[in-house]
């Protein structure tokens, strides 16, 4: 068994980080690394990655349904209308991460979203324009641990910040790109790596 790959309860080999929790295994198997072109899912993931800063993704994943309820299923138009009273409501919501700066950033990002879509046609077209062109055929545990961002993630982070988005640092954006399938960081030996590669080969990235 390659380093970093572990057998789950069903004896399927998976990336080590998901094996110990059934919710995490389902996320790893069914979502992480699969290409996404849906704007609402992309926006949600960018926001939740920002909320994860300083926490574990499993903590956020366990609260994801609460976040969806609190933020109107990540409807950007609805969030853009949030006001001070909305912020205070969210600060009392024990089902989410009650961080005022991150809540305010979510509202700001929802307002900036429309400007971006007016220029690019969709968030998806914008995000996928930063897709890395080199796709490694193999990925070891050591190689994955050594990389916390990339030139493409840094470029996307800088451009989002230039547009007024918040909590979109290079590490956050890199995690977003991994999750949304812009890169395939399932380890060699993980049973999902080949599945993600097949989906990516059949995927037609949205264009401007």
Phi, psi of 92 (to 5 degrees): -95, -5
Q: What angle do CA 23, 26, 30 make, to 5 degrees?
A: 145
Please, what sign has the CA dihedral across residues 21, 3, 171, 154? negative
| Residue 57 annotated among the catalytic residues of the structure | yes
Tell me how crowded residue 106 is: count the other CB atoms within 10 A of its CB. Answer: 28
b/e map of 131-142 (b: 16 or more CB within 10 Å)? beeeeeeebbbe
Encoded tokens for 195? 């599945």
Looking at 24, 32, 44, 57, which residue is catalytic? 57
Looking at 6, 49, 152, 178, which residue is catalytic? 49
Helix (H), strand (E) counts: the chain = 12, 2
68 CB burial (10 A radius; 0-12, 13-18, 19+)? middle
| Residue 27 annotated among the catalytic residues of the structure | yes
Encoded tokens for 59? 């903590």
Q: Which residues are catalytic?
A: 27, 49, 57
């Amino acid at each position: 068994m390659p380093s970093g790959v572990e057998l789950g309860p069903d004896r399927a080999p998976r990336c080590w980080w998901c094996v110990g929790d059934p919710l995490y295994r389902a996320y790893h198997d069914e979502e992480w690394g699969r290409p996404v072109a849906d704007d609402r899912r992309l926006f949600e993931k960018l926001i939740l990655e920002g909320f994860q800063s300083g926490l574990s993704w499993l903590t956020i994943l366990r609260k994801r349904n609460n976040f969806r309820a609190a933020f109107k299923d990540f409807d950007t138009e609805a969030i853009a209308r949030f006001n001070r009273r909305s912020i205070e409501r969210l600060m009392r919501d024990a089902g989410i991460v009650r961080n005022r700066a991150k809540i305010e950033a979510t509202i700001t990002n929802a307002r900036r979203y429309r400007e971006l879509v007016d220029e690019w046609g969709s968030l998806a077209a914008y995000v996928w324009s930063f897709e890395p062109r080199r796709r490694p055929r193999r990925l070891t545990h050591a190689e994955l641990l050594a990389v916390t961002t990339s030139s493409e993630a840094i470029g996307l982070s800088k451009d989002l910040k230039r547009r007024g988005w918040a909590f979109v640092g290079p590490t956050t954006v890199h995690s977003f790109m991994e999750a949304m399938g812009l890169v395939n960081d399932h380890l060699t030996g993980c049973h999902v790596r080949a599945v993600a590669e097949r989906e990516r080969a059949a995927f037609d990235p949205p264009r401007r």
